[in-house]
């Protein structure tokens, strides 16, 4: 019972680190995109197309990062639900054992 409870804060630390890395990655992607977008040559069609492709690529990467974050959040919710179920089952078993002992 106590092992399950002590693992939950560790999961939060792990996922907090993942979310921090995700936030840093998104920040770098946005800054890189903004820097390239602002420096392109309007008169050069090839440069404009390249910048547009880069913007689409960054948007795709951003969508992938967002999807991964949502997936990780769903995983966390499932693990927390499982941990709560385990605690509930263990406590019910303990209550039954105490009841049986005194009956």
pLDDT digits (tens, 9 = 90+) for 35-91: 665 555 445 555 566 667 777 788 888 888 888 889 988 898 989 888 888 888 888
pLDDT: which is higher, 8 or 100: 100
Choose among 67, 69, 62: nearest CA to 16.
Answer: 69
Query: What is the model's pLDDT at position 91?
Result: 84
Does residue 22 have a pLDDT over 80?
yes
Query: What is the model's pLDDT at position 1?
Result: 42
Query: What is the model's pLDDT at position 45?
Result: 58
Query: What is the model's pLDDT at position 95?
Result: 83
Q: What are phi and psi of 35, to 5 degrees?
A: -65, -45
According to DSSP, residue 46 is labeled: H
Query: What is the model's pLDDT at position 29?
Result: 80
Q: Where are the alpha helices (DSSP H) in the chain?
A: 2-38, 45-102
């Amino acid at each position: 019972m106590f092992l399950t409870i002590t693992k939950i804060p560790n999961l939060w630390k792990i996922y907090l680190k993942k979310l921090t890395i995700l936030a840093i990655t998104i920040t770098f992607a946005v800054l890189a995109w903004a820097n390239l977008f602002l420096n392109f040559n309007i008169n050069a069609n090839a440069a404009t197309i390249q910048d547009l492709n880069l913007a689409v690529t960054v948007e795709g990467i951003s969508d992938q990062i967002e999807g991964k974050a949502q997936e990780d959040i769903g995983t966390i919710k499932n693990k927390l639900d499982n941990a709560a179920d385990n605690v509930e089952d263990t406590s019910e078993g303990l209550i039954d054992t105490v009841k049986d002992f005194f009956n």
